[in-house]
Amino acid sequence: MRDLFTNLKVSTKLLLSFGLVAVVSLLVGLVGIFNINRLQDMDNELYRYQTLPLLELRVINGAFEQNRAYMRDIILENDPKKVETAIRAMEENSKKIDSSLQVFSQSLLTKAEKKEFEYFSNVLENFGYHRDQIVELCKTGNKEFARTVLMNDGPKLSANFSRAIDKLSQMKADSGRQTAELNASRSQAAIGVTGFLIVLAGVLAIGLGIGISRIISVPLVAVAAAANKISQGDLTGNIPARYTVAKDEIGQLGMSFSVMAANLKSLVTQVGQSSDQVAASSEELTASIDRSAQASEQIAGTVAGIAQGAEQQMQALMDTVAVVEQMSAGVDKIAVNTATATATADRASSSAEDGSQAISLVISKMNDIKQSVDNSAAVVAELGARSKEIGQIVSTIDGIAAQTNLLALNAAIEAARAGEQGRGFAVVAEEVRKLAEQSQAATKQIENLISSIQQDTGHAVIAMSQGTQEVNAGAEVVGAAGDHFREIAAFVVELSGQIKEIAAAVGQIAASSRQIAGSVSATEAISRDTSAVTQTVSAATEEQSATMTEMAVSSEKLAKLAEQLQQVLQQFRL
C-alpha cells in the first residue's frame, strides 16, 4: 500500500491527502449538524410535550378562575347589561378552555397522563354543567337558588379542578425534567463524538503533512547533495536507489539525475583516455620529426659530398670514380631514410585522424551532457511551478477555514441570543471554530513546507545552470582541440607529400649514379648532371627542413592542447 502511494504523482498525493482531511472535516461538520438538529428536535419535543402543555394549563386555570368570578358577578349584579357582558365573557373563556384542552390532548405520552387528563376533562365538563345551570337560573330570575347551587357545588368542583390541574402540571414537570436530563446526556455524547472526530482530523492532517513533506523533501535533499558534489567536480556521489525507483516526479527526477551523472562520469573517463592518446600521439609525432630532421642532416651532408665529388671529377677521372662510389653509398642511405620518413608520416597522419575522431566523439558527448542538464533544469522548473500551484490550493483551503471560523462565530452569536435553549448549539459552534483555527494552522505549516520546497528547487535550478555553463566551457575547449587536430592532420598530409617528392629525387640521384658507373667516358657531362641534381636535392632538403620546423611547431601546439585538456579533466573526481 505504501509503495502504491509512493508511486503516485505528487499532485495526486496532495489531492488524496487534502481530500481525506476534507472528508474527515466534512464528517465532523455532518456529525455536528446532525447533533444540532437532534438537539433542536429534542428542544422542540420538550417545548411541545412539556412546556406548551403547562402554558395551556395556565390558560385553562385562568379561564376557570375567571368563570367562577363571573358566576358570582351575575348572581350579585342587577344590571342586565353587565350580566350579559359577564355571560359572554364566560362563553369566551369556555372556548379558550376547549381550545387549550384540544392542544393539551396532543401532548399526552403515557397512560397515566391520559387517565389523569380524562378525569380532568370530566371535572371541566361537570363545571360546564354547573356554569350553565347558574346562568340559566340567573336568566330566569331565580338568583337565590343559583346562589345556593353555587355555594353547595362550587367548592367541590373547584377542589376537584385544582387537584386535577396540579396533578397534570406535576406530571408534565416531571416529564420535562426527565427529558431535559436525557437531552443533557445526549448533548454530552454528541460533544464526545464531535471532539473525537476533531482530534482524529487533527492527527490525520498532521500525520499526512509530515509524511508527504518527508516523501517530497528527503529525495530532493539527496538530489541537491549529489548536484552540489557534481558542481564541485566530484563525480563519485550517487543518489540512493530508494529515491530513484519511485514512479512519481521525484523518482523520475532522481532517475534522470542518476543517468546524467553516470553519463557525465563515462564521458569524462572517455575524454581522459582520448587526452592520453593525444599526448602519446604528439610524442610519437615529435619523435618522427626528430628522425626526419636527422635524415635531413644526413641528406645535406651527402649532397655536400656529391658537390665536392663533382668538382673533383673535373680534375681527375680516378677521383671521379671514388666520388661516384661514395655517392652511391650515400644515395642508398638516403633511400632507406626516405622510406622510413614516409612510413613515419603515414603513421602520424593515421594518429592525427584518430585524434580528430576522438575529439568529435568528445564534442558529441558534451552536447549529450548539455541536453541532459537542460532537461533536468526543465524538470526542476516544472517542480517549482507545481509547488506554486500547491501553494495556491493551500491558500484556498486557508480561506475556507477562515470563512468557517467566521460562520462559527456568527453561530455562537446567534446561540447567545437564543439564551439557555441555544447553549448546546453554542458549544458545537465553539468546537467548529476551534477546528477552523486548527485547519488554518495546518495550512500555515503546509505553506511553510511549500516555501522550503520552492527554495530548494531554486537552488537546484542554479546548480543546473552552473553545470550547463561548465559543460559549455568544456565543449568550447574540446572544440578548439578538434580544430588543432584537423590542422595537424593537414600538416601531416602535406609532410607526407613532400617526403614522397624527396623519394622521387633520391631515385633520380640513384639513376645518375648508375649512369656515372656505366659510362666513365662521359665524366664531364655526368658531372654537370650531378651538379644539377645536387642543387635539386639541396632545395628539397631545405624545403624538408622548413616542413620539419612547421611540424615541430604543430607538435608543440598539440602537446599544449593535450595538457590543457588534462587540466580541465583534473577538475573532475571519478
pLDDT > 90? residue 442: no
pLDDT value at position 101?
Answer: 92
> How confident is residue 414, by pLDDT bands cut at 50, 70 and 90?
confident
pLDDT > 80? residue 289: no
How many helices and strands in the chain, by DSSP H and E?
10, 0
| Lowest-pLDDT range of 44-48, 300-304, 328-332, 545-549 | 300-304
- Whether residue 368 is contained in a domain is answered as yes
> How confident is residue 115, by pLDDT bands cut at 50, 70 and 90?
very high
pLDDT value at position 178?
Answer: 84
Average pLDDT, the chain: 76
φ and ψ of 237, to 5 deg: -75, 140
Name the domain count of the chain: 2
The candidate with the shortest Cα–Cα distance to 60, out of 102, 31, 25, 21, is: 102
pLDDT > 70? residue 91: yes
- Whether residue 226 is contained in a domain is answered as no
Across 5-17, b (16+ Cβ under 10 Å) vs e yields ebebebeebbeeb
pLDDT > 90? residue 361: no
pLDDT > 90? residue 381: no
> What single string gives the DSSP state of each residue in 435-463?
HHHHHHHHHHHHHHHHHHHHHHHHHHHHH
Residues 189 and 285 in one domain: no
Distance between CA atoms of residues 60 and 471, nearest Å: 101
Max CA separation in the chain (angstroms)? 204
Residues 152 and 279 in one domain: no
Residues 178 and 141 in one domain: yes
The candidate with the shortest Cα–Cα distance to 42, out of 161, 217, 180, is: 180
pLDDT value at position 99?
Answer: 92
Could you tell me which residue, 445 or 510, shows the higher pLDDT?
445
Helices (H), 10-110: 10-46, 52-76, 80-105
> How confident is residue 435, by pLDDT bands cut at 50, 70 and 90?
confident
Residues 161 and 244 in one domain: no
For residues 513 and 328, the answer to whether their CB atoms sit within 8 Å is yes
Share of residues in the chain with pLDDT > 90 (%): 11
Domain boundary among 219, 252, 272: 219
pLDDT value at position 120?
Answer: 92
- Whether residue 175 is contained in a domain is answered as yes
pTM, to two decimals: 0.38
Residues 265 and 128 in one domain: no
For residues 467 and 231, the answer to whether their CB atoms sit within 8 Å is yes
Domain boundary among 198, 219, 240: 219
Domain boundary among 158, 184, 219: 219
Residues 50 and 74 in one domain: yes
User: Can you read off the three cell numbers belonging to residue 416?
Assistant: 447567545
Distance between CA atoms of residues 522 and 107, nearest Å: 161
Share of residues in the chain with pLDDT > 70 (%): 70
Amino acid at 402: A
**Which residues 6+ apart lie within 8 Å of 516 measured at CB?**
320, 324, 327, 523, 526, 530
| Lowest-pLDDT range of 280-284, 314-318, 362-366, 408-412 | 314-318
The SS3 of residue 141 is: coil
Packed helices 52-76 and 143-231: angle between N→C axes, nearest 10 degrees: 160
Across 85-97, b (16+ Cβ under 10 Å) vs e yields ebbebbeebbebb
pLDDT > 90? residue 122: yes
pLDDT value at position 321?
Answer: 55
For residues 28 and 435, the answer to whether their CB atoms sit within 8 Å is yes
| Lowest-pLDDT range of 92-96, 168-172, 502-506, 520-524 | 520-524
Looking at residues 302-313, what average pLDDT do you find? 62
Number of other residues whose CB lies within 10 A of the CB of residue 515 = 15
Residues 348 and 276 in one domain: yes
For residues 350 and 492, the answer to whether their CB atoms sit within 8 Å is no
- Whether residue 266 is contained in a domain is answered as yes
CATH (domain of 104): 1.20.120.1730
pLDDT value at position 63?
Answer: 93
Residue 106: beta bridge partners?
none
Residues 154 and 240 in one domain: no
**Which residues constitute the domain of residue 12?**
2-219
> How confident is residue 79, by pLDDT bands cut at 50, 70 and 90?
confident
pLDDT value at position 119?
Answer: 93
The candidate with the shortest Cα–Cα distance to 465, out of 379, 373, 386, 568, is: 373
Residues 134 and 243 in one domain: no
Number of other residues whose CB lies within 10 A of the CB of residue 553 = 12
Q: How many residues does the chain have?
A: 574
Looking at residues 319-347, what average pLDDT do you find? 67
User: Can you read off the three cell numbers belonging to residue 513?
Assistant: 649514379
Residues 362 and 408 in one domain: yes
- Whether residue 574 is contained in a domain is answered as no
- Whether residue 171 is contained in a domain is answered as yes
- Whether residue 227 is contained in a domain is answered as no
CATH (domain of 239): 1.10.287.950
Looking at residues 49-54, what average pLDDT do you find? 83
pLDDT value at position 97?
Answer: 92
φ and ψ of 234, to 5 deg: -95, 110
Residues 178 and 267 in one domain: no
